[in-house]
Amino acid sequence: MNQLDIPASVTERVLRRYGVEHPHADLDPRKTALVVIDLQNAFMDDAVGHAVCPAARDIVPEVNRLAAAVRATGGGVFWIKNTHDDRSAQEWSNGDAMLSPAMRAHRAAAMSEGSKGQDLWPNLDVCPEDEIVRKYRFSAFLPGTSELPYRLRARGFDTVLIAGTVTNVCCESSARDAMMSNFKTIMVTDANAAMTKAEHEASLIAFYLIFGDVMDTDFVIQRLTRNSRASHAAG
């Protein structure tokens, strides 16, 4: 379900808007970061999760491939951990209020620091040079709720590849805010996961039409590798 069949009518609108099918295809590997959203036990482990998305388990091989390619071509990898604490519960009280009491308690238990639910999924290839960043809202780019934008800029990254779960919630929220924070933003179609194919596709198409680019893993890796080789050849 994680691929995206783009309707011809969508491609036509993108071409009219951007002038090209992929506005961010000319990736600079040294300025590109992979941002992996919420691939944690809380969203992947049936035993401890509060909002498990089964398809998130299926995208792990593609996420690991992307991470390896980004590292190999000079970029950075950032693993984002959705986190609950007392401050976020107070400052985002409307979010809690929209949940039933049982779900509110389940989410807090699964997402609190030190819980198994908050841990990253064990099959992810996390390396010592990668960064782990906590976020306290759906978006990892919302000012004041995550250090991610500051960490990215401190290392000179201006382009982000968005992967993770859930496509139409935390991933899309992060991607939209990344674009509006002036990062070139790409959602990787087969490295995002949603509860249904319809939600996954609707989210990616909405993002592609206005906010940024969509590419699959193979296309991203091909572009990173090609441009890295060209850069080295040019000296």
- Residue 178, helix vs strand vs coil: helix
Domain ranges across the chain: 8-21+31-81+119-129+153-233
pLDDT value at 77 more than 60: yes
**Which residues have a Cβ under 8 Å from the Cβ of 212 and sit 6 or more positions away?**
23, 24, 175, 178, 179, 184, 185, 186, 187
So what's the pLDDT on residue 1? 41
pLDDT tens, position by position, 162-171: 999 999 999 9
pLDDT tens, position by position, 141-178: 999 999 999 999 999 999 999 999 999 999 999 999 99
So what's the pLDDT on residue 102? 82
pLDDT tens, position by position, 199-216: 999 999 999 999 999 999
What percentage of the chain has pLDDT greater than the value 70? 98
Confidence of residue 92 (pLDDT cuts 50, 70, 90): confident
Confidence of residue 125 (pLDDT cuts 50, 70, 90): very high
- Summarize the confidence of residues 119-124 as an average pLDDT: 97
Q: What are phi and psi of 214, to 5 degrees?
A: -130, 135
pLDDT tens, position by position, 3-50: 678 899 999 999 999 999 999 999 999 999 999 999 999 999 999 999
CATH of 8-21+31-81+119-129+153-233, one of 3.40.50.850, 3.40.50.300, 3.20.20.140, 3.90.1150.10: 3.40.50.850
Q: What 8-state DSSP symbol labels residue 146?
A: B
- Summarize the confidence of residues 93-106 as an average pLDDT: 79
Greater confidence (56 vs 94) lies with 56
Q: What is the pTM of this model?
A: 0.95
CB 95 within 8 A of CB 155: no
Tokens of 209: 């039409």
Mean model confidence pLDDT for the chain: 93
So what's the pLDDT on residue 235? 66
Q: Which amino acid is at 79?
A: W
